[in-house]
Structure 1
Amino acid sequence: MKQSPKNIAQSVRTIGRRGFLIGATQVAFAGVLAARMRYMQVDQADKFRLLAEENRIRVRLIAPTRGLIFDRNGVPLAINEQNYRIVVVREDAGDVDELLARLSRIVPMTMEDAERARRELFKQPAHKPVTILDRLSWEDFSKVSVNSPSLPGVTPDIGLSRFYPAGEDLAHVVGYVGPVSDYDLSRINDPDPVLQIPRFQIGKTGVEAKTEDSLRGLAGNKFEEQNAYGRIIRELRRTPGTKGADLQLTIDEGLQNFVQKRLGEESASAVVIDLAEGDLLGIASAPSFDPNKFVRGISVADYRALTEHDHRPLASKPFQGIYPPGSTFKMVTALAALEEGVITPDETVYCPGHLESGGRRFHCWKRGGHGHVDLKTSIEQSCDVYYYDVAQRVGIDKISEMARRLGIGVSHDLPLSAVARGLAPNKAWKLEARGADWLIGDTLNASIGQGFVLASPLQLAVMTARIATGRAVSPRLVRTIDGVEAPSGGGERLGLDPRHLAYIRDGMNAVSNNRRGTAFRSRIVAEGLEMAGKTGTSQVRNITAAERAAGVFRNEDLPWERRDHALFVCYAPVENPRVAVSVVVEHGGGGSTAAAPIARDIMLRALYGDVPPLEAYPPEQRRAADERLNALPLRDSRPTSGPTRTRA
């Protein structure tokens, strides 16, 4: 049917409108698509490029080189040595058990090693390289390299591992490293990603642990291209890590070796401190252990031998061990009394061998008593009754305050594991800790370093250093970090009356240099190097009234674990003090017989910088001293510059 011109015009207008709408819709869609494409390809280009590269490129951390540790003379104490190791990729290895069997026929591999390797291989993704053996000898490493064509998935590799050249001499100070454990990670709030590297090692004890952040360094990284299955195709680039800081300790390795060997197999400890800067020149704990065994993975038998040893070789006795200081504490009591003005140096106390107080009898070590005793004589002959009498007048709170002033009952800030605080008790402490009132008998016991008083060998060395100098000497162990000097420990003046300090020093001088002094046999006769000291013997058992009436057993007649601890503290030279030493011999008996001779040898080694000459000993003791010193298995310690410091 023929349409009218009007209808035709209307249809044209309708079709035009529809075409315009369709065209506009198409243009708008194309515009939105173009805008979206621009947004994705231009504005978000970096984001999508990164997402694409994450599927193609894997970033792996490179373990940083651990910082080195040296002694004060540049002798290396902790170094990194080449570590020959075997790396396996499980997906390339085929039958893992067959591969491990083949390896065991080429290199020494115990069943324990094989089982551990198998666990580690199946713990990680199949394409990830896993270290299954390390610290191989060059011969074993070469054998694996030669046989690698018949060992699918095996790659001989070379890395770095920690080694301690000083061995057992500094095990308790430097400490050791070990693989990161789940327990280590649980103690860190924001773990460094580098800690996730398999078999990555961190400090476990000692300086290695306490300065971990400085020694560890910063990890590097490498970019590897991988295919869709996660297999590595090639390495694109790498950024090396930043080496950890090098540490220089205040320790003199030659002196440390001498101290360690001089303590021998005793259950003992010694601390040597420089009085000018507070530098710890030696910190020895005996017996010791080889830290390298822990780095390599100590065997069950070796670890059991250490933990079951009655002399506790794993214990860091100089700074973790706390003991009743015995008569070495008497200088604290005397100084407190002098400062409070309750005694004068010439005032005497009569010692009949005991003192009655509170219905109890407190005995002096000398059964027959010392007679009339003044301050100097009380230190020289270590009269207990003198201090019982003085302590009642000065009171425990003033004694406790003086103890803390001299470094006992405080925790010294050192990068060492669990530095003990010790205990300088007072009335408030007993009420809070024991829920009981302080008794006069507690004061009398504390006055001679027994009862609740506890001190570490480190604290006794600090106490002696402060008495010798009148300054608040603080122990310093780290001398420099990457060449930057640590603050001095020389300290400011203590504010004690110089006359009172002189009275105490005079008594300590008499201990070693007067014939009636308790350490006269351990004197130094070299002119200008005379030593001042104080003996101490701390009881580890109560002496019953029946035993005292029948005659107290001698220490040598008792089982080892029931004998008294032997202590000795000293400084030298008397006229110009340079070094202080403390020695504690667990269950050694008397301080004058067990600890003082050791302390004298250590003091002489520190003053001379070498094995002491026989001329420093009394003539009648020189043959014995020569035999003793020659028998010490000293190591030849060679600094980076200068002459040898110890005898081979």
Structure 2
Amino acid sequence: MARKEKNSPSITRRGLVLMGAQLALVGTLGWRMRHLQVEEAERYRLLAEENRINIRLLPPARGLIYDRDGQPVAINQQNYRIVMVREGAGDPGEVLRRLSLLIEISPDRRERVLRDMYARPAFVPVTVAEHLDWHSFARVASNAPALPGVLTEVGLSRHYPADEVFAHIVGYVGPVSDYDLSQIENPDPLLQIPDFQIGKNGVEKRAEADLRGSAGNSRIEVNASGRVIRELDRVEGSSGQDLQLTIDSGLQDFTLRRMEGQSSATVVMDVQTGEIVTMASAPSFDPNSFVFGISTGEWNALNTDEYRPLYNKAVSGVYPPGSTFKMVVALAALEEGHINPSETVFCGGSIEVGNRRAHCWRRGGHGWMDLRDSLKNSCDVYYYDIAQRVGIDKISEMANRLGIGIRHDLPLPAVSAGNMPDRDWKLRVHGESWLIGDTVNSGIGQGFMLASPLELCVMAARIASGTSVTPKLIRSVDGVPADLSAGAPLGVQTASLDAVRAGMFAVSNDRRGTGYRARIADPQMAMAGKTGTSQVRRITEAERRTGVFRNEDLPWNRRDHALFVAFAPFDAPRYAIATIVEHGGGGSTAAAPIAQDVMIRALYGPEPPIEAWPSAMHQTIRERRRLGQDSASVQWSRA
């Protein structure tokens, strides 16, 4: 009996552990097999049938742009479009032919679509038509089974409801080009999406990173031919940030209409915060034409127009500032102690400089002039004299302090810095020494000097406020306010600023002032300004002897530029303005009246009282209002 027990099998503890491990392994494999064969059977069945999962980028909604009061000036609209995938089409040419029976597709367009399809991977969709009306879109959608590879999509496209009013500020968007991609070191994958649009000009271009947003993605199931079976998953992207501009739509619209028929620009800014409330360049253009694809005829017309509608004259145009620069020379002379406000200089009509004579605009001269009268009458000889005393280097320093010759940082492309020359500049650029004649020319804003309307507006704002106020175009980003604090002290003595301000007041309010006819009649809103006329041609001595040609007797492109700068109200400055009319002739006759109307509109709002204008203009204002030329309504804002 004992022997029998010795021979019977026994299970050790180690055997039990090994057996348990084997059972656990078998159980795990069994569970995994059941999971794959039952729970995920559908997924692997689809994969086994040569379906594949594609991940497509989803373009985000572009950020919107608003004016200072919340009026939209750049929005997104639904865009009904037709796209086509080559690998699902079989014969793309034949499918395009059939599609053209449903919607209009020109032969040239069909050729471009085919080129694009064969230039890209076979599964990448290519846009065939967009901006379709609903009926055309629905007609294609209902015939989709007979159009392999053709997909109907609803996307977003940019629209500018203000048309030309904000064209130079907001700019426009357009498709990404090969050149655009070549300028970017690590391009966003979004830019590879066919027909994806980016900012091409204006704020749209400079604020592209904020406005674009980030892509989402969609996981879609497609079969072997590339046809979409279903969407498996979707992750929406993040919309771009919304921007609010400092621009007042009503004033911007009024200013552009007030400059109609001219090649001109006007900038208005808040002298305390630097907010630009108007930046208009005339003539303008419709940015929507670029979004939808501008025609060759329209493009050629814009490019050949001598008034240059595509050019933002307000920030890119630079011109000799003419007599509007005389405040800079006066401040430099006052600060350096070369003159005092009551000191006089005799103007006999000209002054001898080296081996030539520098002439005043008034042939017979102005007689004895102090600072106030020199600005009021815009006496050239006075500034020839004091410019020589101060010297070009100190004049240049004061100009830079007042914002001239400085590139102001605005979210716009091609913002010019103008040119404020000095001795080193001429030696570096021209390889020549500075001459006394160069200083004399600079004393009246001619010669090598150039300034943009933006710079001149900044100059007027700094004189008015006594601070180094800087221009600003963005009021908030996604609701977060921008820094709109006042500028630091300018570092110019109050007495010097007061003397120059008094001269500007006389320009607009003294009966003999060059800008008197363009004054604001209400004493509480009185404007202080300065007219300017800058020559674009040299007047010879022979012409002076026989008689200088009048501007109206010259071809348009040889006439003088007309300028006017100002601030108002005089006792409590709120706005500064600069206006230029290219080849407009005299600043007092061409530029000052525009600035007068725009400043009155800025100070009083949409319906200024007629008493704001001089009584001699009341009938003219009534007639303009009768014809609707002074209407404050902004038609697009009510659409």
TM-score with structure 2 length normalisation? 0.90
- 1:125 is the counterpart of 2:121: yes
- 1:136 is the counterpart of 2:169: no
Structure 1: any 5+ residue segments left out of the alignment?
A: 1-33, 42-48
Q: What is the CA-CA distance between 1:234 and the residue it aligns to?
A: 3.0
| Bigger shift: residues 131-140 or 181-190 | 131-140
Code of the residue aligned with 2:440 in structure 1: it is L
Supply the distance in 2 between the matched residues of 1:452 and 1:489 (Cα, whole angstroms).
34
Match of 1:428 in 2: 424
Code of the residue aligned with 1:361 in structure 2: it is R
Match of 1:13 in 2: none
8 Å Cα contact 2:88-2:226 kept in structure 1: no
Instruction: Deviation per CA, 1:470-498: give whole Å up to 9, x if none.
Output: 01010000010011111125201111100
Structure 2 vs 1, CA of residues 202 and 616 (structure 1 numbering), >3 Å: closer, same or farther? same
8 Å Cα contact 1:68-1:78 kept in structure 2: yes
8 Å Cα contact 1:75-1:638 kept in structure 2: no
Supply the distance in 1 between the matched residues of 2:401 and 2:485 (Cα, whole angstroms).
15
- 1:175 is the counterpart of 2:171: yes
Match of 1:269 in 2: 265
Code of the residue aligned with 2:589 in structure 1: it is T
Structure 2 vs 1, CA of residues 118 and 265 (structure 1 numbering), >3 Å: closer, same or farther? farther
Supply the distance in 1 between the matched residues of 2:565 and 2:107 (Cα, whole angstroms).
52
How do 1:302-321 and structure 2 match up within 5 A?
A: 302-321=298-317
* % same residue: 58
Supply the distance in 2 between the matched residues of 1:207 and 1:636 (Cα, whole angstroms).
25
- 1:209 is the counterpart of 2:205: yes
Match of 1:345 in 2: 341
Match of 2:592 in 1: 596
State the SS of the aligned residue for 2:315.
helix
Match of 1:616 in 2: 612
Structure 2 vs 1, CA of residues 636 and 98 (structure 1 numbering), >3 Å: closer, same or farther? farther
| Bigger shift: residues 379-388 or 125-134 | 125-134
8 Å Cα contact 1:216-1:243 kept in structure 2: yes
8 Å Cα contact 1:225-1:232 kept in structure 2: yes
- 1:632 is the counterpart of 2:620: no
Supply the distance in 2 between the matched residues of 1:485 and 1:98 (Cα, whole angstroms).
55
How do 1:66-77 and structure 2 match up within 5 A?
A: 66-77=62-73
8 Å Cα contact 1:332-1:403 kept in structure 2: yes
Q: What is the CA-CA distance between 1:601 and the residue it aligns to?
A: 0.5
Supply the distance in 1 between the matched residues of 2:508 and 2:148 (Cα, whole angstroms).
72
8 Å Cα contact 1:250-1:280 kept in structure 2: yes
Instruction: Deviation per CA, 1:135-193: give whole Å up to 9, x if none.
Output: 11223323333444443432222110000111111111001111111111111111111
Supply the distance in 1 between the matched residues of 2:371 and 2:488 (Cα, whole angstroms).
27
Q: What is the CA-CA distance between 1:227 and the residue it aligns to?
A: 4.9
Match of 2:502 in 1: 506
Q: What is the CA-CA distance between 1:442 and the residue it aligns to?
A: 0.2
Code of the residue aligned with 1:451 in structure 2: it is G
Q: What is the CA-CA distance between 1:465 and the residue it aligns to?
A: 0.1
Instruction: Deviation per CA, 1:434-486: give whole Å up to 9, x if none.
Output: 10000000000001000011100000000000000101010000010011111
Supply the distance in 1 between the matched residues of 2:100 and 2:608 (Cα, whole angstroms).
52
Match of 1:3 in 2: none
8 Å Cα contact 1:475-1:489 kept in structure 2: no
Q: What is the CA-CA distance between 1:89 and the residue it aligns to?
A: 2.4
Match of 1:363 in 2: 359
8 Å Cα contact 1:347-1:375 kept in structure 2: yes
Code of the residue aligned with 2:185 in structure 1: it is N
Q: What is the CA-CA distance between 1:620 and the residue it aligns to?
A: 1.5
8 Å Cα contact 1:474-1:489 kept in structure 2: no
State the SS of the aligned residue for 2:75.
strand
Say which of 177, 189, 192 aligns to 1:193.
189
- 1:531 is the counterpart of 2:504: no
State the SS of the aligned residue for 2:624.
helix
Say which of 277, 293, 299 aligns to 1:297.
293
TM-score with structure 1 length normalisation? 0.88
How do 1:403-418 and structure 2 match up within 5 A?
A: 403-418=399-414
Say which of 550, 572, 578 aligns to 2:574.
578
Match of 2:17 in 1: none
Code of the residue aligned with 1:391 in structure 2: it is A
8 Å Cα contact 1:75-1:639 kept in structure 2: no
Structure 2 vs 1, CA of residues 590 and 278 (structure 1 numbering), >3 Å: closer, same or farther? same
Code of the residue aligned with 2:307 in structure 1: it is H
State the SS of the aligned residue for 1:106.
coil
Q: What is the CA-CA distance between 1:115 and the residue it aligns to?
A: 2.6
Say which of 607, 612, 615 aligns to 2:603.
607
8 Å Cα contact 2:245-2:474 kept in structure 1: yes
Supply the distance in 2 between the matched residues of 1:199 and 1:283 (Cα, whole angstroms).
31
Code of the residue aligned with 1:366 in structure 2: it is R
Instruction: Deviation per CA, 1:182-232: give whole Å up to 9, x if none.
Output: 111111111111111111111111101111111111111112234566654
Supply the distance in 2 between the matched residues of 1:149 and 1:57 (Cα, whole angstroms).
22
Match of 2:41 in 1: none
Structure 2 vs 1, CA of residues 492 and 167 (structure 1 numbering), >3 Å: closer, same or farther? same
Say which of 243, 253, 260 aligns to 1:247.
243
8 Å Cα contact 1:75-1:637 kept in structure 2: no
- 1:219 is the counterpart of 2:215: yes
Supply the distance in 2 between the matched residues of 1:265 and 1:449 (Cα, whole angstroms).
27
Match of 1:564 in 2: 560
Number of equivalences: 595
8 Å Cα contact 1:279-1:489 kept in structure 2: no
State the SS of the aligned residue for 1:581.
strand
Code of the residue aligned with 1:175 in structure 2: it is G
Code of the residue aligned with 1:321 in structure 2: it is G
Q: What is the CA-CA distance between 1:526 and the residue it aligns to?
A: 1.9
Supply the distance in 2 between the matched residues of 1:63 and 1:633 (Cα, whole angstroms).
42
State the SS of the aligned residue for 2:342.
coil
- 1:88 is the counterpart of 2:62: no
Code of the residue aligned with 2:492 in structure 1: it is L
Supply the distance in 2 between the matched residues of 1:265 and 1:103 (Cα, whole angstroms).
46
Structure 2 vs 1, CA of residues 602 and 635 (structure 1 numbering), >3 Å: closer, same or farther? closer
Supply the distance in 1 between the matched residues of 2:574 and 2:271 (Cα, whole angstroms).
5
Supply the distance in 2 between the matched residues of 1:453 and 1:361 (Cα, whole angstroms).
20
Code of the residue aligned with 1:604 in structure 2: it is I
Q: What is the CA-CA distance between 1:245 and the residue it aligns to?
A: 0.5
Code of the residue aligned with 1:403 in structure 2: it is A
8 Å Cα contact 1:55-1:228 kept in structure 2: yes
Code of the residue aligned with 1:375 in structure 2: it is L
8 Å Cα contact 1:194-1:219 kept in structure 2: yes
State the SS of the aligned residue for 2:130.
strand
Instruction: Deviation per CA, 1:233-276: give whole Å up to 9, x if none.
Output: 43221110001100001011111101111110211000010112
State the SS of the aligned residue for 2:384.
helix
Structure 2 vs 1, CA of residues 238 and 139 (structure 1 numbering), >3 Å: closer, same or farther? same
Match of 2:282 in 1: 286
Q: What is the CA-CA distance between 1:631 and the residue it aligns to?
A: 4.5
Supply the distance in 2 between the matched residues of 1:89 and 1:138 (Cα, whole angstroms).
22
Say which of 300, 316, 331 aligns to 2:327.
331
State the SS of the aligned residue for 1:524.
coil
Match of 1:21 in 2: none
Match of 2:12 in 1: none
Say which of 221, 233, 236 aligns to 2:232.
236
8 Å Cα contact 1:536-1:566 kept in structure 2: yes
Say which of 460, 463, 468 aligns to 2:459.
463
